[in-house]
Structure 1
Amino acid sequence: MPQLNPDPWFIILLISWLTFLLILLPKILSHKTNNCPTPQSQDKLFLPPWNWPWL
């Protein structure tokens, strides 16, 4: 059964992953995001207790 022969497909898989990791991934990771998250304030937010009508 020829589809079980991994010889040509393993090399194709290996070359495609190496291409992705060595060429495409650094280009993708070099982009900067436009919306940098701002840190929230350190003050604790006061939440009043809930008034449960059935209690």
Structure 2
Amino acid sequence: MPQLNPSPWFAILITSWLVFATIVLPKILTHTFQNSLSSLSTNPILAEPWNWPWF
């Protein structure tokens, strides 16, 4: 059963992770967002109770 022989599959796994770590990962980590992710206001939201006209 060739599926149980780990030598070719382990080499493919290690090679693919090395390619991912050396090429793809730095490109993802250097990505910057165009919009800042800060909140719009720092004032707390004042919640008011609802007036239910049908109750």
- Confirm or deny a common fold (TM above 0.5): yes
- Give the percent of matched residue pairs that are identical in Structure 1 and Structure 2: 52
Instruction: Tell me how far 1:51 sits from its aligned partner.
Output: 2.8
Task: Give, in whole Å, the separation in 2 of the partners of 1:27 and 1:3.
Answer: 34
Structure 1 partner of 2:29: 29
Is there any run of 5+ residues in structure 1 with no aligned partner, and where?
A: none
The alignment of Structure 1 onto Structure 2 pairs a total of residues equal to: 54
- Deviation per CA, 1:3-28, whole angstroms, max 9, x where unpaired? 11111110110110111012210012
Q: Normalized against structure 1, the TM-score is what?
A: 0.75
Structure 2 partner of 1:12: 12
Task: Give, in whole Å, the separation in 1 of the partners of 2:11 and 2:36.
Answer: 40
Q: Normalized against structure 2, the TM-score is what?
A: 0.75
**Root-mean-square deviation (Å):** 1.6
